[in-house]
Amino acid sequence: MLAAAGLPADGHYEAKGGWVSRAWVGDDFVVRMGDASASSAYEHEASVVALLEGTEVPHARNIAHGTSADGAWYVSSRLPGRTLHDAWPSASVPERRSIIHSLGDALRALHQVSAPAGLMPPWLRGALAGGSWPAYHPPVVGAAMALVEDAGSSAAVRSWVSSHLPLFDADQHVLVHGDLHGSNIMVDDGRVTGLIDFAEALAQPADVELDTILRWCARPQEFPPTPSSRGLDVASLAPVRGWLEEAYPSLFARPSLGSRLAFYDLWVELAIFGHHPDAAVRAVAERRIVRTIGERGR
């Protein structure tokens, strides 16, 4: 893969696990590899990273990507530091606040990047067209009613979604990362050095970004860096929303923000309820759907 990218094949690389890809982290470069299905994800990520060139968004440069007999691969520059997930437990409270303030600056810059209309990960476009669902986020506002029908939802759910859609009528769609949590944020010395893994980036309202961030803060056990590891302590993430609002107040200034966030949350649960292969997981999603329209739908 290094040779195919036109890079020297020497140097030390540390192997890292993940949910989908394997990774090797070197002094200057990071190599990721997935199965053949990852090819479209890497292609999408490369196209999104190209949009970030010349902007103030901290990110890892795409060096090269392609496919081989072993699968798809993607080589990027290495960013300073380590993931927020790894740095967070030992960081002091002032350092944590500084990191989240820096994250707010990075997100503000990201949401100012012009995104092609309809930009969407290929896997998500395929899922919405009736294909398989390898993941259940980020939300796509315009697909909500189709998702309601997909899930065979009740008239009450259909009515709740329909009544909330006008909240998004005047929205401008911007470039949204779509999968921001502790493993996709690089930090060093109390600041964010880069956002990584743009494979789920899309054009949506800016506050769609809050869905994964706040979900991660509320249920970090669902966001470990690998299937066999553990998420961060939920209590340690409690101040993140307030700190992020300090740094990026306009992200939280939308009218009816609570209802908008409830809509995004319901979107994800509908996707899980309609498409997850595990009946127990679908049952949890169903309970969350009922709770959402019961508590916030009045």
For residue 220, the model assigns a pLDDT of 97
Q: Taking the mean position of all CA atoms in its chain, how far away is CA 28?
A: 25
- What is the reported pTM? 0.94
For residue 207, the model assigns a pLDDT of 97
For residue 294, the model assigns a pLDDT of 87
For residue 263, the model assigns a pLDDT of 97
> What phi-psi label fits residue 81: left (phi over 0), alpha (psi between -120 and 50 degrees) or beta?
left
Q: Which residues of the chain have pLDDT under 70?
A: 295-298
For residue 297, the model assigns a pLDDT of 42
For residue 36, the model assigns a pLDDT of 84
**pLDDT tens across 124-174, in order?**
999 999 999 989 989 999 999 999 988 787 899 999 999 999 999 999 999
Residues contacting residue 165 through CB under 8 Å, at least 6 positions apart:
141, 144, 145
Please give the Cα distance from 243 to 250 (Å, whole number).
Answer: 13
Please give the Cα distance from 261 to 296 (Å, whole number).
Answer: 10
For residue 19, the model assigns a pLDDT of 80
Q: Is 82 exposed, middle or buried (0-12, 13-18, 19+ CB in 10 A)?
A: middle
Please give the Cα distance from 179 to 298 (Å, whole number).
Answer: 30
Residues contacting residue 216 through CB under 8 Å, at least 6 positions apart:
180, 181, 182, 222, 223, 237
Phi, then psi, of 34 in degrees rounded to 5: -135, 180
